A and B are shown apart, each in its own frame.
Chain A
Amino acid sequence: MRPEDRKQELIDIPMTVDVPYRFAAGKYMTKFLVELRDNGKFYGIRCPVCKRVQMPPRIVCAACHVKNTEWVELGPEGTLVGFTIMYLPLTDPTTGKPHEPPFSYGSVRLDGSDSVLDHFLNIEPEVEKIKVGMRVKAVLRSPEQRVGDLSDILYFDPIPHQ
Chain B
Amino acid sequence: MSERVAIVGVAQTRFGPKRADVNYSEMAYEVIAQVLGKTGLTVERDVDNAVSCSHDIWDGQTISDIGITDVIGGHLRNEEKMAMDGSTAVYYAAIGILSGEFDCTLVLAHTKMSQTNRNVVNNTAFDPIYTRLLGLDFTSAAALQAARYMHVRDITDRQAAKVVVKNLANAVHNPVAHNKGRYTIEEVLDAPVVAAPLRKMDIAPDTDGAVALIMASEEKAKRITSSPVWILGMGTSYDAHYLGDRDLSECRALEQAAARAYKMTGITDPAREIDVVELSEEFSYQELLWLEGLGICAHGEAGRLIDSGFTAMDGDLPVNPSGGLLSGVPANVAGLNRVAEAALQLTGDAEGHQVHNPKIAVAQGHSGFCGQHQCVIVLGKE
Pick the interface stretch among B67-75, B214-222, B296-304. B67-75
A66 to B132 Cα, complex, angstroms: 44
Residues of chain B with a CB closer than 8 A to A24's CB: 19-23, 112, 115
Binds B, one of A56-64, A101-109, A117-125, A144-152: A56-64
B contact residues, total (Cβ < 8 Å): 32
B116:A20 contact, CB within 8 angstroms: yes
Residues of chain A contacted by B124 (CB below 8 angstroms): 17, 19
Q: Of A13, A17, A59, which one neighbours B29 at CB under 8 angstroms?
A: A59
B131 to chain A, nearest CB (A): 11
Q: Inside 8 A of B25's CB, which chain A residues have their CB?
A: 26, 58-59
Inter-chain contact A19/B120, CB cutoff 8 Å:
yes
Q: Check A26 against B116 for contact (C-beta < 8 Å).
A: no
A62 engages B132 (CB within 8 Å): no
B305 to A: closest C-beta gap in Å:
39
When each residue 21-39 of chain A gets 1 if its CB lies under 8 Å from chain B and 0 otherwise, what string results?
A: 1111111110000000000
How many residue pairs between the two chains, A and B, have CB atoms under 8 Å in the bound complex? 67
Is B57 a contact of A19 with CB atoms below 8 Å? Answer: yes
Interface string of B24-55 (1 = CB under 8 A from A): 01100100010000000011100000000000
**Chain B CB within 10 Å, residue with most, of A28, A58, A65:** A65
Please determine whether B26 and A26 come into contact, CB atoms closer than 8 angstroms: yes
Q: Could you tell me if B44 and A15 are in contact, using CB atoms closer than 8 angstroms?
A: no
Rounded to whole Å, the gap between the CB of A46 and the closest CB of chain B is 15
Q: A60 and B71: CB pair below 8 A?
A: yes
Pair B129/A13 contact, Cβ less than 8 Å = yes
Known: A15-B128, A59-B26, A60-B70. A23 touches B60 (CB 8 A): yes
Determine whether B193 belongs to the interface, using a CB cutoff of 8 Å to chain A: no
> How many whole Å from A68's CB to the nearest CB in chain B?
10
Q: Which residue of B lies closest to A18 (CB)?
A: B120
List, in ascending order, chain B residues with CB within 8 A of A20's CB: 116-117, 120
Q: In B128-187, which residues have CB < 8 Å from any A CB?
A: 128-129, 132-133
Q: Are B21 and A21 in contact (CB under 8 A)?
A: no
The A interface is mostly helix, strand or loop, or mixed, namely strand
Q: Distance (Å) between the CB of A115 and the closest chain B CB?
A: 13
User: CB of B121 within 8 A of chain A?
Assistant: yes
Selected from A15, A19, A29, A62, the residue in CB contact (under 8 A) with B121 is A19
- Which A residues are in CB contact (< 8 Å) with B129? 13
Chain B residues whose CB sits within 8 angstroms of the CB of A58 once the complex forms: 25, 70
> What B residues does A61 contact at CB under 8 A?
70
Question: Nearest Cβ distance between residue B338 and chain A, in whole angstroms?
Answer: 26
Contact assessment for A27 and B115 in the assembled complex, using a CB-CB cutoff below 8 Å? no
Minimum CB distance partner of B36 in chain A: A65
Cα of A19 to Cα of B115 in the assembled complex, Å? 10
Residues of A close to B112: CB separation below 8 A: 24
CA distance A133 to B153 in the complex (A): 74
Q: In chain B between 85 and 126, which residues have their CB closer than 8 angstroms to a CB of chain A?
A: 112, 114-117, 120-121, 124
Whether the pair A27, B26 counts as a contact (CB closer than 8 A) is yes
Bound: A59/B22 CA distance, A: 10
**B residues within 8 A CB of A23?**
23, 60, 115
Tell me the A60-106 residues at the B interface (CB within 8 Å): 60-63, 65, 67
| A15, B133: Cβ atoms closer than 8 Å | yes
User: 12 A-B contacts, Cβ less than 8 Å apart?
Assistant: A13-B129, A13-B133, A19-B117, A22-B115, A24-B19, A24-B20, A27-B21, A59-B71, A60-B29, A60-B70, A63-B75, A67-B33
The 7 A-B pairs with the shortest beta carbon distances in the complex, nearest first, are A26-B23, A62-B70, A62-B75, A21-B60, A65-B43, A26-B26, A65-B73
